[in-house]
Chains A and B, each alone.
Chain A
C-alpha cells in the first residue's frame, strides 16, 4: 500500500491547495506578446502557452478539474453499476437475462465514440455534466463485476440463514451482501478513477470536454498540440501529470486489491473490468483494461 497511497495523498493535497501553490493566475494573460510561448525558466518552470499564461499554474489548477471529473465519474459509474449488478445478480431469471443482454449491447459500443457523439451533438457541458456523462457510460462493466460477485455470495450459507431467519430482502442486501461487495467496489472505484481521468483528457483534447479558459489537463494538452514542434512544454507537462496521476491511482488500486485479497475476507479478486461475466476466464485474476 505505502508508496502509491502516499503519492496519491500528495496529489490530492496539491489539487486541493492549487490556488495557494500556483505561482500565477491560471487564466491571466501575463504578457500575451512578450511571454507567448516562452520556454521553461526559473520564473515559469513549465514555460508559458500561446497567450502568455503560466503552464505550471494551469497544470496545478487543471489537477482539481481533472481529478474531480475522474472521481465523480467513478462514483457515478460504481453506483449505477452496483444498482444494476445487484438487481440482476440477486433477482436472477428474466430480469437478469434482460439486463445482461442490454449490457452486452452497450459494451459493444466503443465508450469513447459514444461520448464524442453525445458531446459533439449537444455541445460542451459544464464540468459536472461532463463528469456525470463519463460516469454514465462507465457503469456497464461495473454491473458485470457486481453481478458476478452477488451471484457468488447469494448462495452462501450465511445468506440463506439470514433469509431463513426472516430478514427482509433490504436487510439481506445491506447487512449481509453489502460487506461482501465492499472490497471489490472499493478497488473498482479506484481503478475507474484512473480510466475516467484518461477519458476526460481525451475528450478535452478533442475540444469536447472542459471548456477553456478553465484549465484541465486535457485542454492544456489541446492548446499545446498544434505547437508540439516548437513549444513542446505546453503539451508535455500536463500529459506527464496525467501519467503520474493515473499510474499512481492504478498502483494504489493494485496494492489495495492485493491487500484486501490477502486478508482472506475476499476470495481472489474479480476485477476484469470488461470480461463478459466480470469473472476472468477460468477464474484468473487479470488487470483492468484501460479504456482509451
Chain B
C-alpha cells in the first residue's frame, strides 16, 4: 500500500513538472509576447518594448529563463503578472477558491446523485423507469455543458428569475449580515453547480448501473436474500459496496474532463474562477499567470487521481493487500 502511494506520488510530481515544462515551452515558442499589443496601442517604440521584455527577463535565452523560473517556483514564488499589478500567486489565490467551490459542490452532487440513481435503475433493470431514465441519461451526457448552462440561464434566470444571471455574489452583498451573505453566495452557486452536476451525474449513474448489474447475479447476494434481508438492504448494503470501487476510479479519471467543463461553465456564468483567469491570461500571453494556472491544474488533477486511488483502496480490500 505504501509503495503504491509513493509510486503514485512520484508519478504525480513527474506529471506536474512535465506540465510546467510543456506550458513554459509552448508559451515561449508561440508568436507574440505580453507587451506587443499594449505597446502598439499606446504608440510606444520598439525600445519601450525591449525595456519591458528586459524587466521581466524575457530577453534572456529560453534555457536561462526556464532555470530562473524553476528556481523561483521552488521558492514558492509563481512570478509577477506581466499585465497587471497583482502577482501570479495572488491572481490564483483570488480565483482558485471560486473554482474549488463550484467543482466541489458539483462533484459531490454528481456522485451522490449518480450513485443513487444508478442503484435505483439497476435494482429494477429492464423496467419502464430504468429504460426511460437510461435513455434520458444517454441524451444528457451528450449535451455540451456550456450549452446546457445557456439554456438554464435562459429559463431559470431570464424567464423565471429564480436565480441571478451570473457572478459569485451580488455587487452589494458585503453590506448584508453574514447569514444573508451566505444565502446570497448559495443563490449564485446553485445554477452553475446544478448544470455541471446534471451532466456528470448522468455519467456516474450509467457507470453505477452497469457495475451493479454486474454483481447482482453473484451467489453471495442470493445468500443475503436467502437470509431474509430486504431487497433494499441487499442492494443498498451488500451489492453497492461491491459496485462502488469502479466509481472511485471514475472519479480520478473524470477529473481532467470536469476541470475542462468547469472552465466553460464559468464563462457562461461570469464566474471569476480559474477558467476565467486562464483564458484571459492565455489571450494576453501573460506567461507567468498561464504557467501558474497550468501548475495548479496539474496539481489538482494529480490530487484528484490520488484521492481516487485512496478511495478505491478504502472500498476494496483486495487493493490494500496487493
SS class, residues of chain B in contact with chain A:
helix
A206 within 8 A of B: yes
Q: Which residues of B lie under 8 Å from residue A104 when comparing CB positions? A: 11, 15
In residues 201-249 of chain A, which contact B (Cβ within 8 Å)?
201-202, 205-206, 221, 225, 228-229, 232, 235-236, 239, 242-243, 246-247, 249
B108 within 8 A of A: no
- The listed residue (A118, A202, A286) touching B210 by CB distance below 8 A is A286
Q: Are A105 and B15 touching (Cβ within 8 A)? A: yes
A111 within 8 A of B: yes
Q: Are A274 and B138 touching (Cβ within 8 A)? A: no
Q: B-facing mask of A24-47, CB < 8 A → 1, else 0?
A: 000000000000000000000000
B169 within 8 A of A: no
Q: Are B203 and A289 touching (Cβ within 8 A)? A: yes
- A246: shortest Cβ distance to chain B, in Å? 4
Q: Are A284 and B210 touching (Cβ within 8 A)? A: yes
- The listed residue (B207, B211, B297) touching A110 by CB distance below 8 A is B297
Q: Which residues of A lie under 8 Å from residue B249 when comparing CB positions? A: 275-276, 281
Complex Cα distance, B1 from A204, in Å, reads: 45
Q: Are A285 and B301 touching (Cβ within 8 A)? A: no
Q: Are B254 and A121 touching (Cβ within 8 A)? A: no
> Given the interface contacts A122-B31, A228-B158, A290-B142, does A109 sit within 8 Å of B256 by beta carbon?
yes
> Given the interface contacts A242-B147, A289-B250, does A112 sit within 8 Å of B203 by beta carbon?
no
In residues 236-292 of chain A, which contact B (Cβ within 8 Å)?
236, 239, 242-243, 246-247, 249-251, 254, 274-276, 280-282, 284-287, 289-292
- The listed residue (A113, A274, A281) touching B278 by CB distance below 8 A is A113
Q: Are B210 and A116 touching (Cβ within 8 A)? A: no
* Contact residues on A (Cβ < 8 Å of other chain), bracket: 35 or more
Complex Cα distance, B256 from A235, in Å, reads: 27
Complex Cα distance, B26 from A122, in Å, reads: 10
A249, A284, A285, A290, most chain B CB atoms within 10 A: A290
Complex Cα distance, B128 from A291, in Å, reads: 29
The number of A-B residue pairs with CB atoms under 8 Å apart is: 172
> Given the interface contacts A108-B15, A121-B31, A287-B210, does A113 sit within 8 Å of B264 by beta carbon?
no
A198 within 8 A of B: yes
B69 within 8 A of A: no
Complex Cα distance, B26 from A287, in Å, reads: 33
A152 within 8 A of B: no
Q: A-facing mask of B55-86, CB < 8 A → 1, else 0?
A: 00000000000000000000000000000000
- The listed residue (B143, B151, B158) touching A236 by CB distance below 8 A is B151
Complex Cα distance, B145 from A105, in Å, reads: 25
B18 within 8 A of A: yes
Complex Cα distance, B27 from A116, in Å, reads: 12
Q: Are B260 and A122 touching (Cβ within 8 A)? A: no
SS class, residues of chain A in contact with chain B:
helix
- The listed residue (A112, A116, A289) touching B254 by CB distance below 8 A is A289
- B205: shortest Cβ distance to chain A, in Å? 10
- A270: shortest Cβ distance to chain B, in Å? 13
Q: Are B141 and A111 touching (Cβ within 8 A)? A: no
Q: Which residues of A lie under 8 Å from residue B312 when comparing CB positions? A: 281
Q: Are B263 and A113 touching (Cβ within 8 A)? A: yes
Complex Cα distance, B139 from A247, in Å, reads: 5
Closest CB pairs A-B (n = 6): A112-B260, A292-B261, A121-B30, A246-B142, A239-B147, A247-B142
24 example contacts (A-B, Cβ-Cβ < 8 A) are as follows A109-B301, A112-B261, A112-B264, A116-B263, A117-B290, A122-B31, A205-B264, A206-B264, A206-B267, A221-B147, A228-B154, A239-B144, A243-B139, A247-B139, A276-B249, A281-B312, A282-B246, A284-B210, A286-B206, A287-B206, A292-B144, A292-B199, A292-B258, A292-B264
5 additional A-B residue pairs with CB within 8 Å, beyond A121-B31, A221-B150, A242-B147: A111-B257, A111-B260, A113-B278, A236-B151, A292-B258
